[in-house]
Amino acid sequence: MLRRHVLALAGAVGGLMMTGQARANPIGLAEEDEAAIRAAIQEYERVWNISDLDAMGRLYAPHVHWVNVKAMHWRGFEEVDRAHRTYFDIMFKGVQQKLLAIESLTPLASNIAVAVVHWHMDAFKTPSGDIAPPHESRMTLVYVKLAEGWKIAHGANIDVDAQAARFDPIRGAAFVGHDGN
């Protein structure tokens, strides 16, 4: 039994390490697990928009880590919860966030998945008093399946830089038809 699990894990890691060609993930997620993760992402949007930090906290695993858009790294539930509460008190309360797309949902194991989520956020006042205009961001969320369901074990978000996006070698307009020379 253990040997079978080790071989399955080795195959999955080998598949994830392959480069140069697309490869279907050999692990896969059960339909109900994928639906549960998608529902958890929608719940994150809902509780953000009503500024319900108690409900937001129920979306986290106890060992959650978070890296915010300014590269602050919070470790464990208490830090992540306290940081979000602080920032909601001073700048995010009532600020709406809209889910634009779940761009990818990639299983790493039967109980671990990574989601890349695209958001639109309304304007807000920063701690320094500046106004951050409406903008988009992408968030990477690592989900783990615990006894109480799929929970966020790690979150990281980054603002979309529209100017830089033009030079994305995969999707940027500046590189369309570029021959590499």
Burial class (CB in 10 A: 0-12, 13-18, 19+), 44: buried
Tell me the C-alpha distance between 155 and 144, whole Å. 12
User: Between 3 and 33, whose confidence is greater?
Assistant: 33
User: pLDDT tens-digit profile of 97-149?
Assistant: 999 999 999 999 999 999 999 999 999 999 999 999 999 999 999 999 999 99
What pTM value is reported for the model?
A: 0.80
The pLDDT of 33-48, averaged and rounded, is: 98
- Taking residue 25's Cβ as centre, other Cβ atoms within 10 Å add up to 13
What domains appear along the chain, each with residue ranges and CATH number?
Answer: 29-175 (3.10.450.50)
Tens-digit pLDDT profile for residues 91-102: 999 999 999 999
The DSSP-derived string for the chain is -HHHHHHHHHHHHHHHH--SS----SS---HHHHHHHHHHHHHHHHHHHTT-HHHHHTTEEEEEEEE-TT--EEEHHHHHHHHHHHHIIIIITT--EEEEEEEEEEEEETTEEEEEEEEEE--EE-TTSPEEPSEEEEEEEEEEEETTEEEEEEEEEEE--HHHHTT-TTT-GGGTT----
Q: With beta carbons less than 8 A apart as the criterion, state whether 160 and 72 touch.
A: no
